[in-house]
Amino acid sequence: MPFAKTGGLADVLGALPRAQVELGHDVWVALPWYASLTAQPAPYWIGDIEVPFDGGLERVGVGTLERDGVRWVFLGHDAFRRETLYGYPDDARRFALFSAAVPFAAHRLGVLPHVVHAHDWHAAFLSVLLRASAKLPVGFARLPNLLSVHNAQYQGWTDPAALSLWGGFDAELGAALALRGVGNLLHAGALSATRVGTVSPGYARELAHGQHGYGLEGVFAALGDRLFGALNGLDLELFDPQRDAALPAGFDPASADGRRRAGELLREELELEPGRPVVGVVSRLVEQKGLDLLLEALPEVLAQGWSVALLGSGEGAQEERWRRAFGQHSGRVAGRIGYDDRLARRIYAGSQVLAIPSRFEPCGLTQMIAMRYGSVPVARATGGLADTIRDGVDGFLFEEPSARALGQALGRAKSALNDPARWAALLAAGQSRDFSWSNTARAYLQRYREVHHDDVPPTLPREVDDDRTPSR
């Protein structure tokens, strides 16, 4: 952000570098120059570089601009300039080329960083190259680097031989980087990076203990103390209830009157029965988010007296089930299937609780937004949700991924809502939380210092002893 966005990663790269600059550091952010980029002012293109890749040389354009003290580096190539950012059969190759170009672009710009921080499978090949490539600009070989995993479900799969062809590695290393006979960029990056970060300490623990690894369980378990979690922050300017154009002017979540008015507006907009408390949902409708559990719990939730306001989009079958629920329970269950930033903000402000029954959640943003906007999160105790929500203090947590456990948690929330003093205390506790990015920036800087002094891990992935678990 603000140059390209498909999800939470864009928010992180929009906010974290700025927060690091504010702490006095020199931060360069490299990203592909996508067709949809609308950078204003346009970057200054300094010319092309030649990048060793896949046995030849690729010409890649380098553009830069500075914004809020952050130096942005854009890499231009036909392979990057497409309708959407990703979603193509050759994505692994596209982003491997992007990764390969970064050290050469930095060299061209006269930058030799102390630390490189790569994000997700798209940049994971950079960790591999820094570790193993014989063709890097001066100073880049074995440069300390950190790979952040924002969601381990997405890994960047490709042909088993592809990574060694692209990087010029021998067959033995290429085979070790593959996972069960499939080229896998996240796997290769996690084996190669100096350290591996995730977006919450809870998710890091889960990955280390074999949960939610989507086939990378062995790799995460073997990382030991090379794996860490640092909780994402929230952009407090982007999500400022008192200055949110989607809400009545001057909406103050700390005022009972303000919340009542926002609740009335939401119920009117969605044609929900007046007077009933609302369970809000703003989410992608995918298995991860567990909203099928809310569908299953609907009879109980409605019996408890709640209405439900849902905004979401994702898998067709889940969308359809929610559309049917809107029809079956009109006046009590309503919302919109689609992406709608304005309605999302009205749901945060106008609902009494926000349901987040995720099966896993690397960090999660909506619980933080909800607390800031005066909605109490009711969430599964997993990953970043368990790290941010204090059960019974500023939200409600439940353990089991079941409709029954979700129903019970909503029941507890309802009892609290019936006690105005208790409810006011829950809201006040949520609004006093500090989710600012400067905390996260400090946490990463600490890791950068450690990584800078770390030895590169002793074994190259050549010593992998089966097709899954690396030895250390």
The residues of the shown chain that bind ligand ADP, judged by CB under 6 A, are 7-8, 282-284, 311-313, 339-341, 344, 363-366
Give the residue with the Cβ less far from ligand ADP, 73 or 344: 344
CB of 420 to ligand ADP, least distance (A): 28
Counting beta carbons within 10 angstroms of the beta carbon of residue 438, is it exposed (0 to 12), middle (13 to 18) or buried (19 or more)?
A: middle
Give the residue with the Cβ less far from ligand ADP, 61 or 312: 312
Q: Which of 119, 120, 146, 113 is nearest to 447 (CA)?
A: 146
Are 45 and 61 in contact by the 8 Å Cβ rule? The answer is: yes
Q: Which residues contact 331 (CB under 8 A, 6 or more apart)?
A: 271, 272, 273, 307
Q: Which residue is nearest to ligand ADP (CB)?
A: 8
CB of 303 to ligand ADP, least distance (A): 27
Give the residue with the Cβ less far from ligand ADP, 245 or 421: 245
CB of 348 to ligand ADP, least distance (A): 8
CB of 283 to ligand ADP, least distance (A): 5
CB of 48 to ligand ADP, least distance (A): 35
Give the residue with the Cβ less far from ligand ADP, 383 or 461: 383
Q: Which residues contact 214 (CB under 8 A, 6 or more apart)?
A: 152, 153, 155
Helix ranges restricted to H, 235-382: 256-270, 291-303, 316-328, 341-350, 366-373
Give the residue with the Cβ less far from ligand ADP, 49 or 308: 308
Give the residue with the Cβ less far from ligand ADP, 176 or 406: 406
CB of 376 to ligand ADP, least distance (A): 16
CB of 362 to ligand ADP, least distance (A): 7
β-strands 157-158, 376-380: how paired? unpaired
Give the C-alpha separation, 164 to 154, whole Å.
21
Give the residue with the Cβ less far from ligand ADP, 63 or 335: 335
Are 376 and 396 in contact by the 8 Å Cβ rule? The answer is: yes
Q: Is 310 helix (H, G, I), strand (E, B) or coil?
A: strand
Q: Which of 274, 305, 284 is nearest to 410 (CA)?
A: 305
